[in-house]
Structure 1
Amino acid sequence: MPPAPRPPRWLLRKPQDDAPARLFCLPYSGTGASMYHRWPQRVGPAEVIRIQLPGRENRLREPHYGTYEELAGPLTEALLPYLDRPFGFFGHCAGALPGFAAALHLYEQGLPTPDAVFISSQVSPHDGPYGRFLGLTDDELAVELTALVRAMGGEPHPALIDMSLGVLRGDVEANRAYHLDKPVRLPGALYAVGWDADKEIRPGQMTGWDQYAAPGRCHLSVLPGEHYAFLDAPEALTSLLGEAMQRALDEHGGADAADSVA
C-alpha cells in the first residue's frame, strides 16, 4: 500500500473527505498550530483544521510571512482545494486579522468565500491597529510570551522564548501595519466574539465589525472568560462555533450538500 499523501505544509494534517463542513483556525501571535491542541476535532458538523504559518514549529526554518496582505495569497492558494464545502475561519486577537485578510482576498479574487468568519477579541480593521502589544519592547514581549506558553500548558524554556520572540515581533509588526480606510462587506456571516473578563480587548470595542457583513449577518456575542480562555475550547465557544457552522451547512442544503462532497 502506498504511503498516505503528506498534508500541505500549511496544515498539520490533511482534511477529512467526509467532513460536512470545515473550520480553519489560525494561531495566536507568536505561536503555531499546536496552540489548538485542547480543541476537539469537530465543532458541530465542521472539522477543526489547524493552520500552520511560516516561521514556527515544523516551519521554523521559513521566513516570516510579512504582512497580512502578503500572507493571504499563498495561504488561500494552499487552502483552495479544501474550500469545496461550507467553511469558516477562526482567529483570536491578532490571529483573527490574517483570517479576515484571507477572506477578503478570496472575495476580491472571485473565489469561494467563507460562510462564517469568527473574530475573537479584535477590533475591526478600520478601527485599528489597536492593542497593548504594539507598544511593548522585546523584553516585555518575552514576558508576555512566557505567560502564553504557561497558559497553553507548557513550561517556557529561555532558548525557546528567544527563538519565538522573533516570530512574535513579526506578528506584532504585521498587526501594526494592517488598517483599512473603510469597511468592506463580505458575503458570509460574521461572528464577533468578546470575553467579559478580557483586559486586552473589551467587547464594546468590537462593534465596528457590524459594517463587515450584510444587515442581520453580523452577530456579536460576549462569552465568560479572560483573554486566553479560548485556548481551553470552552463549551460556550464550541457551541457558538458548532451552531454557526450548522447554520452555514443548512443554508447550503444540509445533509444533501454534505453527501455531494463526501
Structure 2
Amino acid sequence: MPHTFPALTEASVSLRRLTPDHDSGSGPAVLCFPHAGGCASFFRSWPSLLPAARVDAVQYPCREDRIAEDAPGSLVALAASVAEEILRTGERYCVLFGHSMGAYVAFEVAHRLEQAGAPVPALVLSSSAAPAERPAVPFEDTADVLAYLEQYEPVSPEIRAEPELLDLILDYIKGDLRLVAQYAEHSGKRLTSRITAVVGEQDVPGIREHFTGWSRHTTEDFTPLVVPGGHFYLREQPPAALLRVELDRLRRETR
C-alpha cells in the first residue's frame, strides 16, 4: 500500500509530518529533504530513530501525492516555495537534513529563512559536493541519465522491465537532475547555521573529493564527516546518532 502522510495544515503542499503524534512547536524538529527522484517516504522510519524530536520531510512535486503537479522552474524556485510554506505555517526547525540533491534544496531553504529573520541553527548536508564543485549532471538523454544513475543507485531490473513505469520515474528524475544541473545561485551565499557535511567513504570521487567545500557557505562551525558506505550509506545506517548529538547541543545552548 502507498504510504500516506497527515498534512500539517489544509494549505500545506510540501511538508509532510512523519511523527503525527507531535504537535507543532512541542519540541525540537528536523526537516528532511530527499535526493533526486526521492520522496518524503524515504524518511518514514526516522521518527523511531529520533523519538525525542519531531521529524518532517519535504515532498517534491511530480511524485506520490503530488504526481499531477508541474515541475518547478528551478531549484531556487523549489526552495522558495518550501521556505514560504514554513514561514506561512509557523513551523520552526532546529536541523535541516538534505541528502544529495536535497542538500542543495536545504541550503537554499535555510538561506531564504535566514533572510526572513528565521535562521535555522544547523544543517546536515549528506552525500553532496559543494555546489560550485559538483560533478556534471545529465538530464536530457535517457541513456546518459541511466548511466549516471548506475554510479549511485542503479534502476532495478523490475522497473526496467516495465517501460511505462520506467518512463514515469525517469520523467521526474530528469526534472530533478535538471534542477541540480542548472543550479548556479549559490555563489557568495553564507549562512549563520552550523554545517555538518557527511559523505560515504565509497561514494563517487566527484563527491568524496569536494564535500568539504561546504565550509565556504557558513560563518559558523563546519564539520566534515566520512562514514562507512556509498552514496546511499543512510539506507543501512541512518545518521541518527549524528542528529541526536546536534539536537542535544541545541538543547544545551537554549537552556
Matches within 5 A, 1:52-201: 52-80=59-87, 81-84=89-92, 86-108=93-115, 110-125=116-131, 127-128=132-133, 130-131=134-135, 133-134=137-138, 137-142=141-146, 144=149, 147=153, 150=156, 155-156=158-159, 157-180=162-185, 182-199=187-204, 201=206
Tell me, yes or no, if structure 1 residue 36 matches structure 2 residue 38. no
Matched residue type, 2:99: H
Structure 1 pair 201–93 and aligned structure 2 pair: CA distance change class (3 A): farther
Tell me, yes or no, if structure 1 residue 230 matches structure 2 residue 234. yes
Deviation at 1:103, TM superposition (A): 0.7
Matched residue type, 2:194: A
Q: Deviations over 1:5-39 (max 9, x none)?
A: 84323133376227521111111101211222343
Which residue of the partner structure matches residue 28 of structure 2?
Answer: 21
Deviates more, 1:221-230 or 1:30-39: 30-39
Q: Is the 8 A contact 1:212 1:218 kept in 2?
A: no
Structure 1 pair 200–60 and aligned structure 2 pair: CA distance change class (3 A): farther
Q: Is the 8 A contact 2:136 2:181 kept in 1?
A: no
Q: Is the 8 A contact 1:44 1:246 kept in 2?
A: no
Matched residue type, 1:211: R
Calculate percent identity across the aligned residue pairs: 26
Q: Is the 8 A contact 1:32 1:56 kept in 2?
A: yes
Helix, strand or coil for the counterpart of 1:12? strand
* TM-score normalized with structure 1 length: 0.80
Helix, strand or coil for the counterpart of 1:119? strand
Matched residue type, 2:182: A
Q: Is the 8 A contact 2:36 2:177 kept in 1?
A: yes
Deviation at 1:98, TM superposition (A): 0.7
* TM-score normalized with structure 2 length: 0.82
C-alpha RMSD of matched pairs (Å):
2.7
Structure 1 pair 45–82 and aligned structure 2 pair: CA distance change class (3 A): farther
Deviates more, 1:201-210 or 1:35-44: 35-44
- For structure 1, the 5+ residue unaligned runs are 254-262
Q: Is the 8 A contact 2:138 2:145 kept in 1?
A: no
Q: Is the 8 A contact 1:44 1:245 kept in 2?
A: no
Structure 1 pair 87–54 and aligned structure 2 pair: CA distance change class (3 A): same
Structure 1 pair 45–214 and aligned structure 2 pair: CA distance change class (3 A): farther
Matched residue type, 1:116: A
Which residue of the partner structure matches residue 256 of structure 1?
Answer: none
Deviation at 1:200, TM superposition (A): 5.4
Q: Is the 8 A contact 1:71 1:98 kept in 2?
A: yes
Structure 1 pair 172–104 and aligned structure 2 pair: CA distance change class (3 A): same
Helix, strand or coil for the counterpart of 2:46? coil
The structure with higher relative contact order (CA 8 Å, sep 6+) is 1
Q: Deviations over 1:18-69 (max 9, x none)?
A: 7521111111101211222343445263322121011111100001112121
